[in-house]
Amino acid sequence: MATKFINITLKIWRQKNSQAKGALETYALNNVSTDSSFLEMLDQLNEQLINEQKSPVAFDHDCREGICGMCSLYINGRAHGPDTGTTTCQLHMRKFKDGETIYVEPWRSRAFPIVKDLVVDRSAFDRIQQAGGFVSVNTSGRTMDANAIPIPKEDADKAFEAAACIGCGACVAACKNSSAMLFVGAKVSQYALLPQGKVEAQERVLNMVRQMDEEGFGNCTNTGACEVECPKGISIENIARMNREFLISAVKSSK
């Protein structure tokens, strides 16, 4: 099958830094292969801008394999674009039509300040995870075999599903309140479901929720947009689990 090429118009958010006033700028881009990824299309645009002696568009990326979560863009009003269960780097231009106008913006959240253009500072997620602390393991002088502790398959599967969260921030971008509760719920759940995570369970959930609030994320209103836009399909049942863990820990700590 012959490769198809399309012509598109891009409306891209440009902003020099977090203090500068940003605005959408318009770019025409021709002969875009529908086999190329969205980030490869942006590479093509930047080559064009550099040849025109203009400043290229800054955007975040790393693995380009849908694993790291750095390719976080708001495309035509949706986190990671029109495809479901897909990161921006795995989104292909075949999802767009010839002559289409595509709006590309950064995540919108007070807790994710813009660094430049489409790049946002998501270190708030790092600080939340750091607040969770470590997992204590009694090795008794030797490393314990990971399979030495029997875990029900249902719990192991749920923990694995929660651990699949890549921390991209799509849940925050999709939420009308910029809530990070799906992310925090996933990180709390992956340990709360396993016996190895029970030692610091109370301290972990209290500290992570406290840090989440300090970072300025909003509250959850259970609309479910976060689950829909999550590229890894993290379930909102993790939010319910985190709330249960938090309430139990708050009661215990108050005694």
Would you mind telling me the total number of residues written for the chain in this entry? Answer: 255
Co-location of 18 and 104 in the same domain: yes
In a domain, 142, yes or no: no
pLDDT band at 2 (very low <50, low <70, confident <90, very high): low
Task: Decide if 153 contacts 207 (C-beta within 8 A).
Answer: no
Q: Are residues 154 and 62 in the same domain?
A: no
| pLDDT 10s digits, 73-111 | 999 999 999 999 999 999 999 999 999 999 999 999 999
Name, in order, each residue with C-beta under 8 angstroms of 241's C-beta and a sequence gap of 6 or more: 185, 188, 189, 192, 193
pLDDT at 146: 67
Looking at the fold, whether 128 and 220 belong to one and the same domain comes out as yes
The three-state DSSP-derived secondary structure of 152-174 is CHHHHHHHHHHHCCCCCCHHHHH
Domain-located, residue 144: no
In a shared domain, residues 133 and 159: yes
Residue ranges of E strands in the chain: 5-14, 23-33, 74-75, 78-79, 101-105, 114-116, 119-120
Tokens 């989440």 label which residue?
A: 212
Report if residue 100 sits inside a domain: yes
Tell me if 69 is assigned to some domain: yes
Q: What is the pLDDT of residues 25-57, one digit of tens each?
A: 999 999 999 999 999 999 999 999 999 999 999
Among the ranges given (106-110, 174-178, 197-201), the one the predictor scored with the smallest mean pLDDT: 197-201
pLDDT value of residue 240? 96
**Residue 142 predicted with pLDDT over 80:** no
Domain-embedded: residue 168? yes
Total number of domains in the chain? 2
Predicted pLDDT of residue 140: 65
Instruction: Report the CATH number at residue 205.
Output: 1.10.1060.10
Predicted confidence (pLDDT) per residue in 225-238, tens digit? 999 999 999 999 99
Residue range 135-144: average pLDDT? 71
Statement to judge: residues 228 and 127 lie in one domain: yes
In a domain, 18, yes or no: yes
Token pair listed for 150: 């029997």
Which has the minimum average pLDDT: 40-54, 126-140, 182-196?
Answer: 126-140
In a shared domain, residues 92 and 164: no
Average pLDDT over residues 118-134: 96
User: Where residue 41 sits, what CATH number does that domain have?
Assistant: 3.10.20.30
Q: Which two tokens stand for residue 227?
A: 């689950």
**Helix, coil or strand: residue 131:** helix
Within-domain flag for 21: yes
Assess whether 127 and 250 both reside in one domain.
yes
Share of the chain above pLDDT 70, in %: 96
- The domain of 62 spans 5-115
* pLDDT for position 1: 58
* pLDDT at 47 (0 to 100): 98
Place of tokens 């002969």: 31
**Do 131 and 101 fall within a single domain?**
no
Q: What average pLDDT score do residues 198-214 get?
A: 95
> Do residues 120 and 73 make contact, with C-beta atoms less than 8 angstroms apart?
no
Residues 101, 130 within the same domain? no
Q: Say if residue 67 is in the same domain as residue 84.
A: yes
Whether residue 153 is contained in a domain is answered as: yes
- C-beta separation of 194 from 159 below 8 A: yes
User: Which candidate, 168, 179, 170, 166, places its Cα nearest to that of 60?
Assistant: 168
Whether residue 139 is predicted with pLDDT greater than 70 in this model: the reply is no
Give the integer Cα–Cα distance in Å for 89 and 71: 6
- pLDDT band of 136, cuts 50, 70, 90: confident
Do 157 and 231 lie in a common domain? Answer: yes
pLDDT of residue 223: 92
**Both tokens assigned to 162:** 């929660």
| SS3 track for 194-242 | CHHHCCCHHHHHHHHHHHHHHHCCECCCCCCHHHHHCCCCCCCHHHHHH
> Is pTM beyond 0.95 here?
no
* Same domain? 191 vs 216: yes
